[in-house]
Amino acid sequence: MQIIERYIIQKSYPHKQEIDDLCFCAKNLYSYANFYIYQSFILKHKYLDVNFLEKQLKNFQADLALSTQVVKKYLLGLDFNLLNLLTAIKIYKENKPEFLGIDKLLKYQHQEKSRQLLVYIDQIVSKSKMKADLIHLSPNHICIPTVVDYFCLHRVRNVPNIDHDVVEVVYEKEELDYDLKQDAIAAINVGRDNLAALTANQPRFVQVIIKGQIIKSINRYYNQQKAKLKSLLPARKQTSKLLMLMVV
């Protein structure tokens, strides 16, 4: 099975700007690739495959500060999404009454504000650095501490957010067989006034009911305070340091 190790990269992190720059480069790659694909598809009715697209972007790639493997992986992901979208559009045109609507072609993102997720496959991550419990995202100087073994590593993802970034380390882990009884069943019923009711088909199991009124009151107060603070923010601003403290 695959497990994700997540690291929250705040503004105070030494390599925060480098990580943000990588996600910005990924956004530029996304926009340029979409431009070439759309121009060819709309004007020439020809879909550009990944290999041809990679050649088209060869000169532009030098300005991205991204390795060839990262660009290749990114283009493969974009190609997969676009082909699925075109297939869905074709099916929609053949059976319109069966659908409520159809997704539109991907839009270009904002030139300055937008960022894109970036994926590093395991071959790109430095093996020697991982032996020292560090994930090195080449060709940059970004190093993230980790407890994952190199041979279990599947990929690393840079996920941009509004006020922070998340580095996700995806790795494989063998499922353990605890020799559990297949006929032993437990059940939970989630409610409102009663937060949860627990029961099981085992004779010695003690049934439990958890009251939810207190938690509901705390949650209501939290939402009210959050809405009040958000109403004080300037236009187009989504968060602040005080709001972030409420999340912690």
4-43 pLDDT tens trace: 888 888 888 888 888 888 888 888 888 888 888 888 878 8
> Hey, which bits of the chain come out as E strands?
2-9, 118-121, 134-137, 142-145, 153-160, 165-172, 186-190, 194-200, 208-211
Nearest to 37 by CA among 52, 47, 25: 47
Query: In this structure, what token pair is assigned to residue 100?
Result: 């409520």
pLDDT digits (tens, 9 = 90+) for 191-238: 877 888 999 998 889 999 988 888 888 888 888 888 888 777 777 666
CA distances in angstroms from 8 to 13, 56, 76, 96, listed in the order given: 9, 35, 27, 44
Give me the residue spans of the domains in the chain: 2-172, 178-212
DSSP-derived secondary structure for 100-126: S--PPPPPPPPTTT----EEEEGGGS-
The pLDDT of residue 63 is 60
In this structure, the number of other CB atoms found within 10 A of the CB of residue 135 comes to 22
Query: In this structure, what token pair is assigned to residue 50?
Result: 């990944």
Percent of the chain with pLDDT over 70: 90
187: pLDDT confidence band, cut at 50, 70 and 90? very high
pLDDT digits (tens, 9 = 90+) for 79-124: 888 888 888 888 888 888 888 877 777 777 778 888 888 887 776 6
Nearest to 116 by CA among 35, 31, 33, 23: 23
The pLDDT of residue 124 is 66
Strand 142-145 versus strand 134-137 pairing type? antiparallel
What's the whole-number average pLDDT of the chain?
A: 81
Instruction: Tell whether the model's pLDDT for residue 65 goes beyond 80.
Output: no
Cβ–Cβ under 8 Å, residues 141 and 13:
no
Cβ–Cβ under 8 Å, residues 148 and 134:
no
Cβ–Cβ under 8 Å, residues 196 and 190:
yes
CA distances in angstroms from 163 to 20, 41, 103, 226, listed in the order given: 11, 36, 29, 17
Percent of the chain with pLDDT over 90: 4
Instruction: Tell whether the model's pLDDT for residue 138 goes beyond 80.
Output: no
Contacts of 137-142 spanning 24+ positions with Cβ under 8 A: 137/22, 138/67, 139/65, 139/67, 140/15, 140/18, 140/22, 140/65, 141/15, 141/18, 142/15, 142/18, 142/19, 142/22
The pLDDT of residue 199 is 93
- Residue for token digits 């990262």? 70
| DSSP 3-state percent helix, strand, coil across the chain (nearest 5) | 45, 20, 35
245 or 163, greater pLDDT: 163
Instruction: Tell whether the model's pLDDT for residue 248 goes beyond 50.
Output: no
Q: Which helix (H) or strand (E) holds 94?
A: helix 68-94
Helices and strands, number each (H, E), in the chain:
7, 9
